[in-house]
Chains A and B, each alone.
Chain A
Amino acid sequence: MIQVQDIHKSFGALEVIKGVSFEVKKGEVVCIIGPSGSGKSTILRCINGLESYQRGAISIEGAKVDIADRSITDIRTQVSMVFQRFNLFPHRTALENVMEGPVFVKKVSRAHARDEAAALLDKVGLGSKLGVYPAKLSGGQQQRVAIARALAMHPKAILFDEPTSALDPELVGEVLAVMRDVAAEGMTMVVVTHEMEFARAVADRVLFLEGGTIVEQGPPQDVLRNPQHPRTQDFLHRIIHPME
């Protein structure tokens, strides 16, 4: 469903993506791991058309992702994104945050959008917080609203960029649980994460990215338990034994 072919991306003279190719099939969950600055966010942002790329091609079910083309807003409605810092609209309630896309982008009727938003918030465990503003929600709750907001677009895929990295440790679990549910319902997902447990349990495939290239990829039991490349081994070692 998502095709990434030999993508290159530079910021000025700095080349941050140096020829990345991978494919995500419908219903697949792909986790991207890798050190800071390796280009994980940049790849997600390219897939969602928030960032342009200089070479290569990205397509969603055959439709090319081209930031300069009018079709880009269409593509963005088909691929939702969940951000590290939640990025909720602070001037709108949880319910309004979730309704915003359906009502104003997809032109769904307000009544229908409201019912569905309420149902989605209920599903992520926030049925009692519909009228609450983001400032009054914990980080974990905000991120669950953000996931509901993404789901409300009925996207073909959801991209998660370190969705739990900004959370207090005790709030990580509630967000991962929701993500696991979403995955179980067959949603196509690309997840940048440092949560190895989640990757092991939920991912169909893990990509290890470093220096703008995919160093190693495969099923989680291979990449995470038995990495072949010394760089992957080193990275995983540092994640698992951060004090060494």
Chain B
Amino acid sequence: MGFWGRAADYLPLLMEGVWLTLVITFFSVVLSTLLGFVWAVMAWTRIPVLVAISRGFVMIIRGIPIIVQLFYIYFVMPEIGINLTAMQAGIIGLGVAYSAYQAENFRAGIDAIDKGQIEAAHSIGMTDQLVMRRVILPQAIRIVLPPFGNTIIMILKDSSLVSTITVAELTRQGQLIAASTFDNMTVFTLVALIYLALSLPLTFLTRHLEKRYSQP
């Protein structure tokens, strides 16, 4: 049986993994975006306590390998009474870890808006909330979107890390098949090709956004 024949044998199992990979990626992107936005807004308020919490959190998260964070959530949390399924732990772990990177991205986008406009908005009576919604966000989104595309790709790839906490996503399915068939060559070539097939469209989308938003 040639490569494609064997590949066809493995594909159904791998596709189950693909499904989980997509689910993890999707929810991790959502969680990291929401949390990252919260950190960025906290930093923006210039309220000392909030700024300190946001900065401190981002610093700590960025200083610890994601895989260690995953182990922490999955293996240590139960000891203090918080039991999560491997899926939940994976999504929370990736979401929280990436929220730190997203926060930096959002902060850069918010900071890039000229202060004069914000003053002008205040001078016509806009509240901070309205300034955020009507002046900062519509402009920041152009700055934030291209790096956001990259972040999605990174999360997609790093979702393979949750294989280490027993989630049977794509990478782990590959490992399992390879362990029982010893056909490392076919299995991991296939796994790599699938990741590529998932990330390439995102790469092109990001490039497109970069081009589209580089001119004002």
Contact = CB atoms under 8 A, between A and B. Distances in A.
A100 B124 contact: yes
B125 A87 contact: no
Nearest to A149: B124
A108 to B, nearest CB: 12
Contact of B135 (A50, A89, A105, A106): A89
Contacts, number: 62
A76 to B, nearest CB: 4
B119 A73 contact: no
Contacts of B116: 83, 85, 87
Contact of A153 (B117, B122, B124): B124
B216 interface: yes
Question: From DSSP, what is the main secondary structure of chain B's interface residues?
Answer: helix
A80 interface: yes
A73 to B, nearest CB: 5
B139 interface: yes
B215 to A, nearest CB: 11
B180 interface: no
A77 B122 CA distance: 9
Given A73-B126, A73-B127, A104-B134, A91 B139 contact: yes
B117 A89 contact: yes
Contact of A76 (B125, B135, B138, B216): B125
A48 B123 contact: yes
A87 B121 CA distance: 9
B124 A105 contact: yes
Nearest to A44: B123
A105 B126 contact: yes
B120 interface: yes
B98 to A, nearest CB: 28
Interface residues of B, number: 18
A76 B117 contact: no
Interface string B105-142: 00000000010110111111111001000110011000
A104 B122 contact: no
Given A50-B119, A87-B116, A90-B117, A101 B124 contact: yes
A69 B34 CA distance: 30
A74 interface: yes
A166 to B, nearest CB: 11
Interface string B179-216: 00000000000000000000000000000000000001
Contacts of B114: 87
A88 to B, nearest CB: 7
Interface string A76-97: 1100110101011111000000
24 contacts: A48-B123, A73-B127, A76-B122, A76-B125, A77-B124, A81-B120, A81-B123, A83-B123, A87-B114, A87-B117, A87-B119, A89-B117, A89-B121, A89-B135, A90-B139, A90-B216, A91-B139, A100-B124, A101-B125, A105-B124, A106-B125, A149-B124, A150-B124, A153-B125
Given A90-B139, A91-B138, 16 more contacts: A50-B123, A76-B122, A76-B124, A76-B125, A77-B125, A80-B123, A83-B119, A87-B117, A89-B135, A101-B124, A101-B126, A104-B130, A104-B134, A146-B120, A153-B124, A153-B125
Interface of A: 48, 50, 73-74, 76-77, 80-81, 83, 85, 87-91, 100-101, 104-106, 135, 146, 149-150, 153
